[in-house]
Amino acid sequence: MRLEMRGVTKRFARAGGGTLEVLDGLHAVIEPHGFVCLVGPSGAGKSTILNLLAGLFTPDGGEIVADGKPFDPARHRIGYVFQKPRLLNWRTVRANVEFALEAAGVARERRAARARDVLALVGLEQFADEYPLALSGGMQQRVAIARALAIEPEVLLMDEPFSHLDELTARAQRRELLRFRDTIAASVVFVTHNALEAVYLGDRVCVLSPRPSRIVAELKVDAPRTRPPEDPALLALERDVLRALGVE
């Protein structure tokens, strides 16, 4: 599925009256099986873009289309990974994943096998019967990723999923995401404040302006899927992203 945001605008009512303009005629393309990273200053509307793609918000102007037709998120499988895992602590790891499958209408007889497969994909099959609070922060986030992948999404939305982790754990999680990236069919839209994370993970990086936002730069990451974060080419791209953000 090829997603396009064509001249999308979004505003919100302010408590004291008036409106807050968040997106201003934003154009973006998410190619099939692509991995797009969104980078921008705080308040630039990165999470708003994800919520528009998830169908939680509707545009105030412009349009979102899928393969040239009006995009209806209710007709597509959308996976969403938030900053925090948001797991149900009274359910086991397996039950957390199966809960998403139940909500998606997957038949009971298929849920156990699908949960087992995605937990194996993220390396947590041996923790299926544990409860989330018994796991580390990084492992909890992997459960959240498994839950999002369980429904076999066409689009996977990731909102700074590693930002609350320490750098050693976050680095391991990025490496794991790249490890199984090619085994999933979803197009990925990944929000981050970290320019190096963006060029390390993405095949394209879109840089947003301050609010009201539009894309001011788009960089292609021409590097093998398995690449060290210290790759000089990635460091050069990181500088390009920072320059586009106006911080270098």
The stretch 59-68 carries a mean pLDDT of 94
Say whether both 215 and 176 belong to one domain: yes
Which SS3 state, helix, strand or coil, does residue 143 take? helix
Q: Is the dihedral of CA 203, 182, 54, 15 positive or negative?
A: negative
Q: Provide the domain count of the chain.
A: 2
Backbone angles phi, psi at 11, to 5 degrees: -135, 160
Both tokens assigned to 16: 């004291």
Q: Structure pTM? A: 0.94
Q: What is the DSSP letter of 229?
A: T
Q: According to the model, what pLDDT value does residue 109 have?
A: 86
Is 49 in contact with 22 (CB distance < 8 Å)? Answer: no
CA distance 31 to 27: 13
Domain stop point among 104, 127, 152: 152
CA distance 175 to 204: 17
The stretch 90-118 carries a mean pLDDT of 94
Which H or E run contains 189? strand 187-192
Both tokens assigned to 75: 């007709």
The stretch 218-243 carries a mean pLDDT of 89
Amino acid at 47: S
Domain stop point among 152, 175, 196: 152
CATH of the domain at 193: 3.40.50.300
Tokens 């201003």 belong to which residue? Answer: 24
Q: What is the pLDDT of residues 162-200, one digit of tens each?
A: 999 999 999 999 999 988 888 888 999 999 999 999 999
Residue span of the structural domain in which 111 resides: 85-152
